[in-house]
């Protein structure tokens, strides 16, 4: 299985990060327009896809790997997840909580805490890890699930997995 996200000059394009236009942000702070993802060679027996976008470079900054996007139960026949799929509803998916929903930050706006919230590296360029997993079943997860619940339900059901590193400049 392969995934591809278009980059510009080796970085995630600005319109999906803290450099996005004000109209692509909530509260003029949080970029919410998700980037497109192309899927190739998804196993034929796949019943669903799951995705995570995590920033391990945030550990020295905030003490944990920041979760920017978690989603499950995407159609495995997708060849492309279009731009802004996280907010637009054009593609059906089950939305997981990102780090804004956690007890430290506890943002209650579901446009922010259960959808894509774009990278905003404060100190230096960060490498964000996008992982897409093909599964042999749909997962029994409600909107608002946590990353650990996704990982638990994926155990024993992974058919293929692909990871792309998405650099973002500060």
Domain ranges, residue 61: 2-168
pLDDT in tens, 56-105: 999 999 899 999 999 999 999 999 999 999 999 999 999 999 999 988 88
- For residue 91, give the CATH number of its domain: 3.90.280.10
Calpha distance 24→16 (Å, rounded): 8
- Full-prediction pTM beyond 0.95? yes
| Residue 70: predicted pLDDT | 98
- Per DSSP, the residues of 111-149 read HHHTS------SSS-EEEEEEEEEESS-----TTB-HHH
pLDDT digits (tens, 9 = 90+) for 6-54: 999 999 999 999 999 999 999 999 999 999 999 999 999 999 999 999 9
Location of structure tokens 């060849």: 79
Q: Which residues pair with 37 in a beta bridge?
A: 81
Domain count, the chain: 1
């Amino acid at each position: 299985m392969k995934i591809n996200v278009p980059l510009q000059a080796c970085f995630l394009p600005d319109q999906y990060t803290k450099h996005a236009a004000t109209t692509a942000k909530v509260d003029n702070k949080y970029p919410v327009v998700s980037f497109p993802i192309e899927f190739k060679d998804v196993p034929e027996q796949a019943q669903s896809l799951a995705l995570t976008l995590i920033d391990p470079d945030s550990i020295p900054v905030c003490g944990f790997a920041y979760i920017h996007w978690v989603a499950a139960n995407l159609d495995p026949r997708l060849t492309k997840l279009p731009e802004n799929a996280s907010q637009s509803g054009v593609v059906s998916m089950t939305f997981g909580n990102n780090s804004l929903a956690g007890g430290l930050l506890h943002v209650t706006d579901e446009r922010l805490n259960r959808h894509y919230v774009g990278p905003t590296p404060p100190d230096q360029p960060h490498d964000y890890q996008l992982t897409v997993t093909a599964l042999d079943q749909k997962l029994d997860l409600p909107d608002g699930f946590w990353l650990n619940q996704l990982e638990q339900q994926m155990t024993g059901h992974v058919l293929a997995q692909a990871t792309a590193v998405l650099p973002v400049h500060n």
